């Protein structure tokens, strides 16, 4: 099922206080970015937020499910469904989304550290 344009527009408007929020179509859904950092997915008209060791316990404590991009239940990426009340409470949405942006920034920083630790090749 394709994502409805009105839902995408609603999310962009609601998330705008976070900074420059953009979306790109990908694999039948959308990836949501804040200042270039991916922090959310929109798939089947549902919002999934980026999680890591810092904010994952909040999702798990609420019983929220991890996003499964494939039929294999073991294939999980680090995004969790958003709590349903976020769409009625903009401040709660911004709080949870802010945690997802921070998780995305930590993931990006971790990747950069790994790249700089590589030994130079060609000796």
Q: What architecture does CATH give domain 5-117?
A: 2-Layer Sandwich (3.30)
β-partners of residue 34 are 21, 37
Looking at the chain, the whole-number percentage of residues with pLDDT higher than 70 is: 82
pLDDT score, position 64: 96
Crossing angle, helix 90-117 and helix 5-15, to 10 degrees? 80
**pLDDT tens column, 83-93:** 999 999 999 99
C-alpha distances in angstroms, 40 versus 36, 76, 120, 123? 12, 14, 34, 42
Between CA 8 and CA 45 the distance in angstroms is: 9
Instruction: Provide the residue count of the chain.
Output: 123
Q: Which candidate, 65, 62, 56, places its Cα nearest to that of 107?
A: 56
Q: Average pLDDT for residues 76-101, to the nearest whole number?
A: 94
> Which element (helix H / strand E) includes 7?
helix 5-15
**Has residue 115 got a pLDDT over 80?**
no
Mean pLDDT of all residues in 23-31: 90
pLDDT band at 5 (very low <50, low <70, confident <90, very high): confident
- In the chain, what are the domain boundaries? 5-117
**Is the pLDDT assigned to residue 1 strictly greater than 50?**
no
What percentage of the chain has pLDDT greater than the value 90? Answer: 63
């Amino acid at each position: 099922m394709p994502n409805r344009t009105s839902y995408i527009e609603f999310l962009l408007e609601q998330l705008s206080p976070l900074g420059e929020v953009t979306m790109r179509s990908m694999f039948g859904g959308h990836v949501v970015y804040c200042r270039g950092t991916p922090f959310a997915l929109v798939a089947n008209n549902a919002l999934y937020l980026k999680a890591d060791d810092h904010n994952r316990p909040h999702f798990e404590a609420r019983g929220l499910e991890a996003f499964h991009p494939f039929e294999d239940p073991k294939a999980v990426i680090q995004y969790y469904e958003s709590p349903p009340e976020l769409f009625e409470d903009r401040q709660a949405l911004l709080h949870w989304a802010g945690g997802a942006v921070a998780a995305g920034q930590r993931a990006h920083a971790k990747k950069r550290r790994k790249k700089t630790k590589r030994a130079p090749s060609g000796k």
